[in-house]
Amino acid sequence: MPDKKPEKQNRQGVDSRTLLKRLRDILAEQGEGQERLDKITYIIACSMDADVCSIYLRRDEKTLELCATEGLNPESVHQTRLRVGQGLVGRIADLARPVQSKDAPAAKGFRYMPETGEEVFSSFLGVPIQRLGEVLGVLVVQNREPRVYTEDEVYGLEVVAMVIAEMAELGAFTAEGQQAMAMPHQRPFFAKGIVGQEGVAEGHVVLHEPHIVIANPVADDPESEKKRLAEAFAKLQAEIDRMLKTDQLAATGEHREVLEAYRMFAHDRGWRQRMEASIESGLAAEVAVEKEQSNTRTRMERVTDAYLRERLHDLDDLANRLLRILAGRDGNGADMPDDAILVARNIGPAELLDYGRKLKGVVLEEGSVGSHAAIVARALAIPLVIQAARITREALSGDEILVDGDAGVAHLRPEESVKTAFHEKIAMRAEAQEEYAALRDLPAVSTDGQRIRLEMNAGLMADLPSLEGSGAEGVGLYRTELQFLLRSSVPKRTEQADLYSRVLDAAKGKPVTFRTLDIGSDKVLPYMKRQDEPNPAMGWRAIRLGLDRPGVMRMQFQSLLRGAKGRPIRVMFPMIAQFDEFRAARDMLLEEIRREKTKRHSLPSDVKIGAMLETPSLAFAPDQFFRMADFISIGGNDLKQFFFAADRENERVRRRYDTLNVSFLSFIEQIANRCNDNDTPVSFCGEDAGRPVEALAFAAMGLRTLSMRPASVGPIKRLIRYVDLGKTKTIIDQARASGEQSVRPALEGWLKSIGAPYR
Ligand code: PEP
Ligand code: MG
């Protein structure tokens, strides 16, 4: 403890620069964490002429602990604890903003803690100690006599709290055995998210947007800091102007709107002036940017309006860019470890593809199951967890992390016991993989002799190697739009034809079903003008767009016919809702075949033309439709969303209705019967076909072909080969007859009783 108190400041202004310099000296000195905190509370109390200064740090997610105090009873240090939200201190942590009171004991929410002896102090001012929107603790000053703290004092204390947060990040306050004083990024963190792609991975964090660690949060020379900030702004503005000019982006579309918003923010005087004011009070330029970023993030957590949230995200991204420029770290220059697990707020499909197979796993704070990034992760067979709240704030580059894509969770900086359990899981999975490999060349035949054809879904060249590895018998759904989605302009006809040709080469004679462009709804091409539709999933998408703007579809037909190079192909149209749409699209394709013939181009040896059944209406189309279609593929993802009127992308309702709901299952059965009655081959290619129990139920309902992600072929084949499909049907029928809402309990109960591998 310093033996001589520095001179007291007058109340009108805290000399924050001098105070910050003292803090910096404390940071530079050798010493224990506790000693540092004690000194800090002491010098803040002196320079603010406060009777009390206390620092509360987060002990865990929900609790704050008094870690140092000047003025309160020293015995209460590490004894007094509060829940976040409780008392004035807890409220500050909860709201992430300052709270003051002239008469604290009488203030609403005040919580009396007798052990501290604080009842004699009337006035209270507390500010959050936060970094990048995350509250690490609370800094409080108190005075005996009732008084109001000036705006300058509040601001000054906030600036001090910023420096304390940076010091905490640098590990300045760690102490053996004191949980609240552990470095913020050293505790284990469990992130509960959602399954994006199954699989497990163990490795080290690579942050898509790396954190900048600020070694010196206090600046000596505000003028030179302001100059650095000005230069960084100039660079940022030039970067955005360059992005707006590059021909990578078309003149219209969403990207441009985002960049225009960026440009506006980058020129926003208020934003920059606030940073300059922080620098004036003694902060380094980086910390001044982070202070603004903290405010943005706090606001982001409270705003519910989607548009406003997006704009706040833009502002957050810009602050990240500024920080990187200031730190001289433009771009993702960090070396990738061999076992890289990518952690990001969100990521675009093209960016993810750039990282490619170098990644062992991906954890996203946002994202959705149907997003393009999720599709790419699936194609690359990388375990993916989405919607893992707080992960980008908690993770630091190089942290150990376990990704459990099966459960949709990630363990950051795991404890030994968690690691042991995880290793057991990896070993069990490896055993199962061996079992699937042994089945690879065997057919999926049930014990009562029913043969089910198992195919795989694909959309990228990267998918094709799985055809051989998984034992799939063909590609039941090739999503051609991915080639379009990953590019910045429409791929040329030769490029398309080349891709289709390479896909057929890779399939080595196994059949491939190409689905024509399925865009619109969630699949918006970066170079396509965004349609302002109130309900895009039911809007102008897929075949509707293809028929209304036939140019692109025609070009795709030509590419398919030429890419086939004389081999047989299968073509199907997405989102056919009525017979006429199928007839019109089919006529267009037949017309193109005729034209190619006239031009004496070589033609595929056979062209099968089918429809995707993704709207309930098509199940009730006339028999003529079923007879005209060479095959039908049930797009269960869309069909289910329209059947239950539940958005497939909306996490609130997505899982509300079970696929094994008797209504849906009976509907699938009806479709299978109609197709069988008309001799129309039918398959199911939605995600549910890749889930063992669902796949089994579909097979029992009469579907003989299922198309799924490659990793599902093994588990589903193993289950089908284990069961009697006739008996499965009986179990389902009994459950239906008994008035159950879903046949799942009955079916899973039975599978369990016979020891079937259904999980
Ligand atoms: C479907 O809707 O089930 C389907 C396979 O198509 P997508 O998921 O591409 O919409
Ligand atoms: Mg669909």
| 637 close to ligand 1 (CB < 6 Angstrom) | yes
Q: How remote is the CA of residue 638 from the centroid of ligand 2, in Å?
A: 5
Q: Report CA(579)–ligand 2 centroid distance (Å).
A: 17
Q: Give the alpha-carbon dihedral of 224, 230, 234, 239, to 10 degrees.
A: 90
Strands 123-131 and 512-515: unpaired
Q: For the chain, what is the largest distance between any 2 Cα atoms, rounded to a whole number of angstroms?
A: 100
User: Can you give the pLDDT at residue 248?
Assistant: 45
Confidence at residue 423, expressed as pLDDT on a 0 to 100 scale? 93
Q: Which of 643, 685, 712 to mutate to test the pocket of ligand 1 (most atoms within 8 A of CB)?
A: 685
Q: How far is the CA of 632 from the centre of ligand 1 (A)?
A: 13
Is 636 near ligand 1, meaning CB less than 6 Å away? yes
pLDDT of 503 strictly over 70: yes
Q: Which residue has a Cα nearest atom 6 of ligand 1?
A: 635
Please give the number of the atom of ligand 1 that sits closest to the Cα of 687.
3
Ligand 1 atom nearest residue 481's Cα: 9
| Domain covering 189-210+332-427 in this structure, CATH number | 3.50.30.10
Q: How far is the CA of 248 from the centre of ligand 2 (A)?
A: 29
- pLDDT level of residue 652 (50, 70, 90 thresholds): confident
User: Could you tell which of 378, 481, 612 is best to mutate to test the pocket of ligand 1, judged by most ligand atoms within 8 Å of the CB?
Assistant: 612
pLDDT of residue 336: 82
pLDDT at 334: 53
The ligand with the least distance to the CA atom of 634 is 1
DSSP one-letter code for 399: -
Give residue 638 CA to ligand 1 midpoint distance, Å.
6
CB distance 686 to ligand 1 below 6 Å: yes
The whole-chain average pLDDT of the chain stands at 89
Q: Could you tell me whether strands 400-404 and 200-207 are parallel, antiparallel, or unpaired per DSSP bridges?
A: antiparallel
Global pTM exceeds 0.85: no
From the CB of 459, is ligand 1 less than 6 Å away? no
Looking at CATH, the fold of the domain delimited by 16-169 is given as Beta-Lactamase (3.30.450)
Cα gap 15→8, rounded to integer Å: 10
At 24-53, the pLDDT tens digits run 888 888 888 899 999 999 999 998 899 999
Question: Does 378 sit in the ligand 1 pocket, CB within 6 Å?
Answer: no
The 3-class SS string of 492-546 reads CHHHHHHHHHHHHHHHCCCCEEEECCCCECCECCCCCCCCCCCCHHHCCCHHHHH
Percentage of the chain with pLDDT > 70? 95
Q: Which atom of ligand 1 is nearest to the CA of 574?
A: 6
pLDDT over 70 at 209, yes or no: yes
For ligand 1, atom 1, the nearest C-alpha belongs to 635
Q: How many other C-beta atoms lie within 10 A of the C-beta of residue 83?
A: 14
Decide if 217 contacts 283 (C-beta within 8 A): yes
Q: Is the per-residue pLDDT at 250 higher than 60?
A: no
Q: How far apart are CA 66 and CA 51, in angstroms?
A: 16
Q: What is the CATH number of domain 447-753?
A: 3.20.20.60
Confidence of residue 11 (pLDDT cuts 50, 70, 90): very low
Residue 156 Cα to ligand 1 midpoint, Å, equals 56
pLDDT band at residue 462, thresholds of 50, 70 and 90? confident
Assigned token pair, 31: 């010493």
Write out the two tokens for 623.
Answer: 């028999």
Nearest CA to ligand 1 atom 8: 637
Report domain extents, the chain. Answer: 16-169, 189-210+332-427, 222-327, 447-753
Expressed in angstroms and rounded, the spacing between residue 560 Cα and the centre of ligand 2 is 20
Residue 241: its pLDDT value, please? Answer: 82
| pLDDT number for residue 253 | 47
Pocket test for ligand 1, best of 576, 637, 644 (most atoms within 8 A of CB): 637
- What pLDDT does residue 5 have? 42
- Which residues are found with C-beta within 5 Å of the ion, ligand 2? 614, 635, 638
Residue among 376, 479, 688, 708 whose CB has most ligand 1 atoms within 8 A, to mutate = 479
What is the model's pLDDT at position 526?
67
Model pLDDT, residue 23 = 86
**Does residue 450 surpass a pLDDT of 90?**
yes
Q: How far is the CA of 216 from the centre of ligand 1 (A)?
A: 52
- CATH code: domain 222-327 is 1.10.274.10
Question: Taking residues 663-689, what's their average pLDDT?
Answer: 97
pLDDT band at residue 2 under the 50/70/90 scheme: very low
Ligand nearest to the CA of residue 706, numbered in listed order: 1
Beta carbon of 479 within 6 Å of any ligand 1 atom: yes
Q: Is the CB of 456 under 6 A from ligand 1?
A: no
Measure the CA–CA gap between 402 and 425, rounded to whole angstroms: 11
